[in-house]
Amino acid sequence: MDVTMDRRTLLRGALAGAAAAPAAGLLTTGTAEAAPAAFDVLLGDVTSGTIYQFDRNRPFTRGNVKWSFKPSGGHPMEHRLRDTAGDGRVLLIATGTRDGGVASIRRRSDNKLLWSASFGTYLHAVERARGTGVVVVAGRSRGPAPGGDGGATRGGKIYVYRPTDRYSRSLVKAQQFDFHQAHGLLWDPQLERMWVIGGSVLQAYRIVTTASSARLVADPDRKVEVTRGHDVQPDCTSPGRLLFTDTGGVYSYDKATRTVKKLYGRRKVKSFVRHASGEEMWTGAEDGGSAFGTKWVHFNTAGARDLRVGSSPVVYKARILDPDYL
């Protein structure tokens, strides 16, 4: 991996310290006075098994919940919006436990279940490819992880589903293959690649379809070595960059030069994204705490917000509520 260090002071203290630090620990000179961006977020609370929608600029309290849903299948591990030609705007959900998981697609307007499938792996992600309508699901192996660290488990799989018409209900299984510690997925419309991260690799795949088949084919020129890879997301300020996390930090990937730069050295970041305004949002775990995360969702503008709904909430991933290139 060709890694160069980002010398900015922004988030340096917070990302080197505990993920549960209060908002004041995230601010640096110049950021405290900046106006935060306006957007909604989806949070997955693993304690209650609930997905919540909040306005980023209001406290994450019960009175400010804009929408919530408790899906079946266990912990909410992924929750993202996508636009489709047949079903309109949909919500993709992956839930999981040590014994298995469920991937589902729900129509956003009325929460109607359009498709679901159960799996024998601990699901961590689900994604849909624009154009082909192919849906990909990622799960790590079953069973407890050593020390509670999911990145230390053995095994994992990728599942590929293809539509037989323009509706999500028509999805049928097309492919399955091993992917060690499969954790994160992202469809990249610029490169037309499905990115998969987990274990020791971030790998891009082409989607090859025929009238009766669909499969992922690895792109050998777009493979990055990582250490217990976790999440992959866009840099919404630049479609030419990806952002990804592993156990050791947060990184950017330049698609043109195919080089990687280490942005932050904070360990155990579970999700990280950069909004179109430039604001960064992230969640993470801390040593001695839950392996999933903490109650905090962090922002580099105007600090962090803690989830104050239910008993002992733990936020795993935070997603921007936007169907475009999440």
Tens digit of pLDDT for each residue in 223-276? 999 999 999 999 999 999 999 999 999 999 999 999 999 999 999 999 999 999
Higher-pLDDT residue of 153 and 54 is 54
User: Which pLDDT tens digit goes with each residue over 22-45?
Assistant: 333 333 333 445 678 899 999 999
- 3-state SS track over the chain: CCCCECCCCCCHHHHHCCCCCCHHHHCCCCCCCCCCCCCEEEEEECCCCEEEEEECCCCCEHHHCCEEECCCCCEEEEEEEEEECCCEEEEEEEEEECCEEEEEEEECCCCCEEEEEEECCEEEEEEECCCCCCEEEEEECCCCCHHHCHHHCCCEEEEEEECCCCCHHHCEEEEEEECCCEEEEEEECCCCEEEEEEEEEEEEEEEEEECCEEEEEEEEEEEEEEEEEEEEEEECCCCCEEEEEECCEEEEEECCCCEEEEEECCCCEEEEEECCCCCEEEEECCCCCCCCCECEEEECCCCEEECECCCCCCEEEEEECCCCCC
Q: Is the dihedral of CA 109, 112, 114, 119 positive or negative?
A: positive
CA distance 244 to 257: 16
pLDDT of residue 31: 43
From residue 133, alpha-carbon distances to 49, 161, 168, 187, 196 in Å are 28, 9, 8, 11, 17
CA distance 259 to 279: 23
User: Which pLDDT tens digit goes with each residue over 168-224?
Assistant: 999 999 999 999 999 999 999 999 999 999 999 999 999 999 999 999 999 999 999
| Residue range 12-320 in CATH 1.10.10.10 | no
Contact predicate 307/45, CB 8 Å: yes
Q: How confident is the model at residue 303 (pLDDT cuts 50, 70, 90)?
A: confident
Q: Is the dihedral of CA 166, 170, 175, 179 positive or negative?
A: positive
Lookup: tokens for 92: 């993709």
Overall size of the chain counted in residues: 326
Where are the chain's structural domains? 12-320
Cβ neighbourhood burial of 13 (10 Å; 0-12, 13-18, 19+): middle
Higher-pLDDT residue of 113 and 301 is 113
* Contacts for 2 with CB less than 8 Å, ≥ 6 apart: 259, 260
Q: How confident is the model at residue 6 (pLDDT cuts 50, 70, 90)?
A: very low
pTM of the model: 0.88
Which range is least confidently modeled, 87-96, 108-117, 134-143, 274-283? Answer: 134-143
pLDDT of residue 163: 97
Contact predicate 96/75, CB 8 Å: yes
